[in-house]
Structure 1
Amino acid sequence: MTVSVGILGATGAVGQRFIQLLDGHPTFEIDALTASESSAGKSYQAAAKWRANTPIPRDVADIEVGETHPDAVSDDIDLLFSSLPSGVASEVEPKFLEAGYVVSSNSSNDRMAEDVPLTIPEINPGHLDLIEVQRDNRGWDGALIKNPNCSTITMVPTLAALDAGFGIERADVTTLQAVSGAGYSGVTSMEIIDNAIPHIGGEENKMETESRKLLGEFDGAELSLHDAEVNASCNRIPTLDGHLESVFVDLADDPSPAAAREALESFPGIDLPSAPDQLIHVFGDDQPERPQPRRDRNRDNGMAISVGGVSETPSGLKYNCLAHNTLRGAAGASLLNGELLVEEGWI
C-alpha cells in the first residue's frame, strides 16, 4: 500500500526533517510540498535553504513547491504533514480540513482543543477516536491530529510507564533544551554561547497542560485530563539537538529504583515503521552521568527516550530523561501519528 503525502511548510527546519524521514519510507510517498508565496513555483531545491546533514533526496529536489492552500494541492493526496508556524497553521489548517484532507500536525495551535487528538502512538492511540467527535462538532470531512511539544514528548512516555505501575500524583520537571527547538534563527549566537536562558515563552504551560491530556482518559464522547499536578521550569542551553530533563515524581505506591527502572524499560512500544524497537532505554547505577544530549540523542534513529539517574526521594522518584527534539519531538512524532492513522484505518 502506497500513501500519497504532502508537507505544509516544507522549506523550514521541521519541514526539512520531514523530507529526511520520509526518504525511503515503506508506505509514504511525497507528492506535494508547500511553502510561502515567495517559494511557490520554484523547485524544492531552489526554494529551500537546505540545512539538514544529509543531501536533499533526488526524487524531492525537483518537485515544484506550491502555495499553502487547498486549491494548490491535489485531491489525490491522502495525508498532509503540517510543520507550519502556529499563527499560520491556525488560519490555514482549517481550510484543508474543510476541504476533506487528513492532517497530522506538529504545529502548536489546537493541541488542547477538546475534540482534537493529541497523540503519542505508544501512549494513547485510543484518543484517535476523538476524530469522530471532531467531525461531528466541526462539520468537516477531514481530520486533525496533533503531536505534543518536543519537551512534553521527552517526559510523558516516562510518566506513562510509571503511572501504569505505581500511579503518578505529581510531576515537577526542569528542562535543559537545545537551541534547535527554537528554529534555525530562533536564538542568536550572542544570546546562547556561554549562557543559559531560564525562560522559553509558552513552553512551561505546554508541558503542564499537554502532559495531562496525553495521560487522560477518553470515554468515547469526551476526554478527561489526568488528575496529576504537573509543574515545569524550561531553560534553553547551548546544545544543538536533544532535550535533557530532570523529573521529580510523587507516586501513589513506593517502588524501589530497581522496580522503577524495570517498569520504564519494559514499557511496550508499538509496531509502526518509524517506531523504535524499545521506547525507553534505561541506564543503570553504573552510568550516573547518562543520558547526555551529544551521546544519546540519536538512539534508535533519534526516536527512543533515554533515562538515567533513577533514585528515591521522600515522596517518590527522581530521574533524568532525554530525547531528540526535532526527530522524536517534532517531525518524527508527526510521522508516527501519520503511520498510526494508516494502521488504524483512518486513511
Structure 2
Amino acid sequence: MAVRVGVLGATGAVGQRLIQLLEPHPEFEIAALTASESSAGHTYQEAAKWRVDSPIPDEIGEMTVTATDPDDVPDDVDLIFSSLPSSVGAEVEPGFCEAGYIVSSNSSNSRMAADVPLVIPEVNADHLDLLEVQRDERGWDGALVKNPNCSTITFVPTLAALTEFGLEKVHVSTLQAVSGAGYDGVTSMEIIDNAIPYIGSEEDKLETESRKLLGEFDGAELNQNSMAVSASCNRIPTIDGHLENVWVETEDDLTPEAAAEAMESYPSLDLRSSPDPLIHVFDEPDRPQPRMDRTLGNGMAIAAGGLQETPFGLQYNCLAHNTIRGAAGASVLNGELLLENGYL
C-alpha cells in the first residue's frame, strides 16, 4: 500500500516538480496539496500556473488546495514534502513536526541546525540517525530532514568519491541556471547576453553544507569535515542544469585517472530514485554540458568530466539538474530513504 503524502508549497516551481515526480511513484500517493491563503479553496488546476514540461495529472488538477496548516492536512498523511520559501518554512515546518508529521524539506531554513539531518542518501544516509537526537531534544512525534542546496548537491557526491585521498582544500566556481532563482527570480533584461557573478547567500551554503554533509555522526552529535571550502557563484542564461568547476587539494597524491575511477565506482543505493551509476564520468574534454547532460539518470545523476592536474590540485567539472536532483528529486529520494529506514 502506497504511503500517503502531502506537498507544501505545491503551486511553486519545486512543488510542481514534486508533483511530476510523485504522481507516478509506486510507493507514494499524493493526498494533500497546500499553498498560500489566496490559493486555498481552489482546485489545483485553478491555483497553479503550471510550468513543468508535462501536463498536470488529471486527478491532481481536480484536487482542492488547502492552507498550509497541519489542521488542514488529513491525519492519515504520513509524509510531508516541503518546497516552501525558507522564511515560511521556518514558521510552519516545526508545527507539522509537532503535529506528528515526518517532513522531507527542500527549504533552506534549519539545514545547519545541529539536530537536523542534512542528507544526500548516497553520501551520508547514516546521518538520518540524527532524527532520534532531534526527537529527544525537541519532543516531536514527527521529524524534519533536509536536502541541501541545489549547487551543493552538484559537487558533494564527487567529493564524497574522493574522501579516501584525504580532502584538504576545495574551491568551487558555479555556473547556475536561471531556474534556480524561481520563475520570477531573474528578469530577462538581467540575464540575456549576461552573467551575474553573485547569488545572495549561495556561497555560504556551498561552504558550510558541504562540510556538514561529509562530516561524521558519532551517535550523539555530528562532527563536520575539516576540509577548507571556498566558493564563487555565478548566474548564467541556461534554463536548467548547474555546471560547476572544482579544484581539489588532497593529502595523498590524486591523479585524474584515480579520481575518474573513484567517481565511476562510487556506489548508488537500492532506492527507486537513486541512479546507477550515480556519477557519470566523461572522457571528452568539453563535457558535461547542461543542455546535453542534465537529464542523465532521469535528472538524478551527477555528471563529471575535464579531469586534469593543475598547480592548484585536481581540477574537474561537474553538473546536475538543479530542479530535479538539486531540489524536488532530492526530497523524494530522502522520502524513499525514510521509508526504507522504517520512519514511515
Deviations 1:56-114 (A, max 9, x none): 01121111100000010011001000000000000010111110100000000000000
Deviations 1:178-213 (A, max 9, x none): 000000000000000000000000000000000000
* Structure 1 equivalent of residue 182 of structure 2: 183
1:93 partner amino acid: E
* Structure 1 equivalent of residue 319 of structure 2: 322
How far does residue 314 in structure 1 lie from its aligned partner after superposition?
3.2
Alpha-carbon distance between aligned partners in 2 of 1:187 and 1:245, rounded to the nearest angstrom: 20
SS at match of 2:54: coil
Alpha-carbon distance between aligned partners in 1 of 2:338 and 2:103, rounded to the nearest angstrom: 10
1:262 partner amino acid: E
Taking the TM superposition and a 5 Å limit, the aligned residue runs for 1:164-313 are: 165-284=164-283, 287-313=284-310
Alpha-carbon distance between aligned partners in 2 of 1:88 and 1:297, rounded to the nearest angstrom: 30
How far does residue 313 in structure 1 lie from its aligned partner after superposition?
2.1
Alpha-carbon distance between aligned partners in 2 of 1:42 and 1:25, rounded to the nearest angstrom: 25
Identity %: 71
SS at match of 2:123: coil
How far does residue 229 in structure 1 lie from its aligned partner after superposition?
0.4
* Structure 2 equivalent of residue 35 of structure 1: 35
TM-score computed with the length of structure 1 as normaliser: 0.98
2:170 partner amino acid: A
SS at match of 1:88: helix
User: Relative to structure 2, which stretch is displaced further, 309-318 or 225-234?
Assistant: 309-318
1:292 partner amino acid: Q
Alpha-carbon distance between aligned partners in 1 of 2:36 and 2:23, rounded to the nearest angstrom: 23
SS at match of 1:104: strand
* Structure 2 equivalent of residue 145 of structure 1: 145
Deviations 1:27-70 (A, max 9, x none): 00000000001000111111101111100011211111000000
1:29 partner amino acid: E
In the comparison of the two structures, how many residue pairs are matched?
A: 344
- Runs of at least 4 residues off by over 4 Å: none
2:325 partner amino acid: R
2:324 partner amino acid: L
SS at match of 1:124: helix
Alpha-carbon distance between aligned partners in 1 of 2:230 and 2:75, rounded to the nearest angstrom: 43
2:341 partner amino acid: E
Alpha-carbon distance between aligned partners in 2 of 1:332 and 1:6, rounded to the nearest angstrom: 15
SS at match of 2:122: coil
Change (3 A) 1:266 1:341: same
Alpha-carbon distance between aligned partners in 2 of 1:315 and 1:111, rounded to the nearest angstrom: 30
Mapped contact 1:251–1:315 kept (Cα < 8 A): no
Alpha-carbon distance between aligned partners in 1 of 2:26 and 2:273, rounded to the nearest angstrom: 10
How far does residue 259 in structure 1 lie from its aligned partner after superposition?
1.1
SS at match of 1:176: strand
Alpha-carbon distance between aligned partners in 2 of 1:33 and 1:51, rounded to the nearest angstrom: 17
* Structure 1 equivalent of residue 95 of structure 2: 95
TM-score computed with the length of structure 2 as normaliser: 0.99
Question: Are 1:340 and 2:337 an aligned pair?
Answer: yes
How far does residue 26 in structure 1 lie from its aligned partner after superposition?
1.1
How far does residue 312 in structure 1 lie from its aligned partner after superposition?
0.9
How far does residue 315 in structure 1 lie from its aligned partner after superposition?
5.1
Alpha-carbon distance between aligned partners in 2 of 1:261 and 1:144, rounded to the nearest angstrom: 35
Alpha-carbon distance between aligned partners in 1 of 2:277 and 2:28, rounded to the nearest angstrom: 23
Stretches of structure 2 lacking an aligned partner (at least 5 in a row): none
SS at match of 1:122: helix
Deviations 1:268-304 (A, max 9, x none): 01111111121000011xx100000000000111000
How far does residue 256 in structure 1 lie from its aligned partner after superposition?
1.8
SS at match of 2:258: helix
How far does residue 23 in structure 1 lie from its aligned partner after superposition?
2.0
SS at match of 2:148: coil
Mapped contact 1:26–1:273 kept (Cα < 8 A): no
Alpha-carbon distance between aligned partners in 1 of 2:72 and 2:294, rounded to the nearest angstrom: 37
Mapped contact 2:247–2:312 kept (Cα < 8 A): no
* Structure 2 equivalent of residue 16 of structure 1: 16
Alpha-carbon distance between aligned partners in 1 of 2:312 and 2:328, rounded to the nearest angstrom: 36
Mapped contact 1:254–1:316 kept (Cα < 8 A): no
SS at match of 2:121: coil
How far does residue 316 in structure 1 lie from its aligned partner after superposition?
2.7
Alpha-carbon distance between aligned partners in 1 of 2:341 and 2:327, rounded to the nearest angstrom: 21
2:90 partner amino acid: S
- Please, which of 325, 328, 333 is the counterpart of residue 331 of structure 1? 328
* Structure 2 equivalent of residue 129 of structure 1: 129
Deviations 1:216-268 (A, max 9, x none): 00000000000000000000000000000000000111122111100011000
